[in-house]
Amino acid sequence: MATFLADAGVDTVCGQRAWGALNDSYRSDVNLLYPPHIVALGCLCLAASASGVELSQWLQRLDVDLNQVAAVVAELSSLYMQHTYVISTDECHRLLDLVCQRWDSSSVGPGERRR
């Protein structure tokens, strides 16, 4: 990743996003399906897109299968789309209260057996 970032000449923000995407890639199976350099390029492309950085000419110079890079970008994009649900603070507290109520009602004292 570091070599690609230096060669592409992207800014620090884009580089940080690329490293973040690479870290997030371990929440999917792309690292099992594609070689490391393809995953790194996919993460860089995703970060560049989010940062408004144009990489198409730089990518054309590389001797890689851009279809595989695109597949990694698509997979990571779908990963991010799955986790866009945001709950309000009130909803979070309500859910935590429910969990605590269930925990309290199901707790058993020392030496006691649940009936």
pLDDT in tens, the chain (115 residues): 989 999 899 999 999 999 999 999 999 999 999 999 999 999 999 999 988 999 989 998 999 999 999 999 999 988 888 766 666 777 777 777 777 776 555 555 555 554 4
Q: Please tell me the predicted confidence (pLDDT) of residue 79.
A: 85
Domain with 78, as residue range(s), is 2-82
Domain contains 78 = yes
> Looking at the domain assignment, is residue 110 inside a domain?
no
pLDDT for position 94 = 76
Q: In sequence order, which residues have a C-beta less than 8 Å from that of residue 71 and are 6 or more positions away?
A: 34, 42
Predicted pLDDT of residue 114: 47
How far, in Å, CA of 36 to CA of 32, rounded? 9
13: CATH: 1.10.472.10
Nearest in space to 45 (alpha carbons), one of 81, 85, 67, 84: 67
Q: How many domains is the chain built from? A: 1
Q: What is the pLDDT of residue 19?
A: 95
pTM here? Answer: 0.71
Q: Which two tokens stand for residue 73?
A: 């970008």
- Amino acid (one-letter) located at 108: V
Q: Is residue 73 part of a domain?
A: yes
Predicted pLDDT of residue 100: 73
